[in-house]
Amino acid sequence: MKTQRIVEILKSGVADTDLTVQGWVRTKRGNKNVAFIALNDGSCAANLQIVVDLEQIPESVLKNITTGACIRVDGRLVASPASGQRVEVQAKAIEVYGTADPETYPLQKKGHSLEFLRDIAYLRPRTNTFGAVLRIRHAMAYAIHEYFNKNGFYYFHTPIITASDCEGAGAMFQVTTLDLNNLPKNEEGKVDYTQDFFGKSCNLTVSGQLEGELGALALGRIYTFGPTFRAENSNTPRHASEFWMIEPEAAFFDLEDNMELAEDFLKYLIQYALDNCAEDLAFMNKMWDPELLDRLHFVVEHDFKRLEYTEGIEILKASGRKFEFPCDWGCDLQSEHERYLVEEHFKRPVILINYPKDIKAFYMKQNVDGKTVRGMDVLFPKIGEIIGGSEREADYGKLHARVQELGMNERELWWYLDTRRWGSAPHSGFGLGFDRLLIFVTGLTNIRDVQPFPRTPQHADF
């Protein structure tokens, strides 16, 4: 007898065969003759019903079958006489692997708030909601590799420890083995990083882009997919200190190609979820967001609106809306502005392009107007910015001048600048925030609820 997973049993289990199932008890109910156990093994949202004839199972075992306990059931799969399930299991023998004392186990039957579950993030994968979220998360990760593999992009591993600051925002976590209580100093009285582990000051990466560009300028098309880290003290529902990012980078792509890739990629991922996560999405739609499925279908079926930043500002100013933050030309857009454009004005995703150069990173291709750069942000309903990207400055002279103008550390960027000295090529790329994608696809509203173990300011438990 081979252990089977509940997802397969419910779908294709043959009635009147013996089987073994193992999983966690969601609920037990019944009367003095029979008990019904709802068993879940994480393979799908649905539970398998176990029917227990109380005379067949010793009382000493039965009393330990409580919500949260882990059990093994040997029994017979039969057609279920009741509506609600195709098949059920008649238990012949039950072994309790791990008990869960009802007095102390925090996840009792009743629904729990997402806030409560954050405090017990080490247990929440066992809830229906997190089971669904984590399975969708897996499906999205798989679909990302599938998409790029189909489209000729190579998975390229960029370093997590780095000495350069890609976004130039300085919001980085330092990596050091120096004794913080006894720091070596140089002649100027500053910390002497030549004595540090790497012989220089290093950080956790904020983006794999700079190294990703090297990949694209050799392999043509690459993508990265890994963790990134930002030490910004932003306590919003959309910012995490540790998040995963997908960064495709392609040689010979201009901004137009980049926009097409971004739109096609997002639609592919959402369609993949609709096709492969139907049960979990239906659950999320029922429990958390009654408009979720409509929104996912809507995005897949409609063209994204492409819009110049300058036009976007004009629309915002003409809207008559009182925003919390200003929105004059030159301002960085806040989530409220982005969502106004997407949710109220255009009522569909927007790709905003050609931003003022002063609010964008140094590597973006400069437009001939001298004021704007070929950046693009993809703005989504409920999220705001889900993708940030650009065509890259491929001209050595212009890039070098910009690095100097911004007072950046040229010594740490020499290798990046060198790519423009030999065999430079037009190229473009973008970064999709994986966790923001998950917010969109699950219908939840907080990044803390789509990551298994969120890292945010003052929070690094589990």
Give the interface with ligand 4AD as residue ranges (CB under 6 A).
Answer: 166-167, 207, 209, 230, 239-240, 243, 245, 247, 385-389, 429-431, 433, 435-436, 447
Which range in 98-106, 208-216, 258-266, 380-388 contacts Mg ion by CB under 5 A?
380-388
Which range in 205-213, 296-304, 382-390, 435-443 contacts Mg ion by CB under 5 A?
382-390
CA atoms of 336 and 411, how far apart (whole Å): 38
C-beta of 327 vs 447, nearer to ligand 4AD: 447
Say whether residue 388 binds Mg ion (CB under 5 A).
yes
Residue 349 interacts with, from Mg ion, ligand 4AD, none (CB under 5-8 Å by kind): none
Residue 436 interacts with, from Mg ion, ligand 4AD, none (CB under 5-8 Å by kind): ligand 4AD
Which range in 77-85, 291-299, 336-344, 388-396 contacts Mg ion by CB under 5 A?
388-396
Listed in sequence order, the residues at least 6 apart from 20 whose beta carbon sits closer than 8 Å to its beta carbon are 1, 2, 3, 4, 72, 73, 74, 75
How is 244-267 classified by DSSP, letter by letter?
EEEEEEEET--HHHHHHHHHHHHH
CA atoms of 412 and 243, how far apart (whole Å): 24
Shortest Å, Cβ 359 to ligand 4AD: 11
CA atoms of 210 and 413, how far apart (whole Å): 9
C-beta of 13 vs 431, nearer to ligand 4AD: 431
C-beta of 13 vs 388, nearer to Mg ion: 388
Residue 312 interacts with, from Mg ion, ligand 4AD, none (CB under 5-8 Å by kind): none
How is 150-178 classified by DSSP, letter by letter?
HTTPEE----SEES--TTSS----EE--S
Total of chain residues touching Mg ion, rule CB under 5 A:
1
| Torsion (CA) 59, 61, 62, 63 in degrees, nearest 10 | 90
Strand 154-155 to 221-229 pairing? parallel
Shortest Å, Cβ 232 to ligand 4AD: 6
Please report where in the chains the tokens 């399975």 appear, as a residue. Answer: 135
Closest CA to 454 of 120, 18, 110: 120
C-beta of 44 vs 245, nearer to ligand 4AD: 245
Q: Which residues bind Mg ion (CB under 5 A)?
A: 388
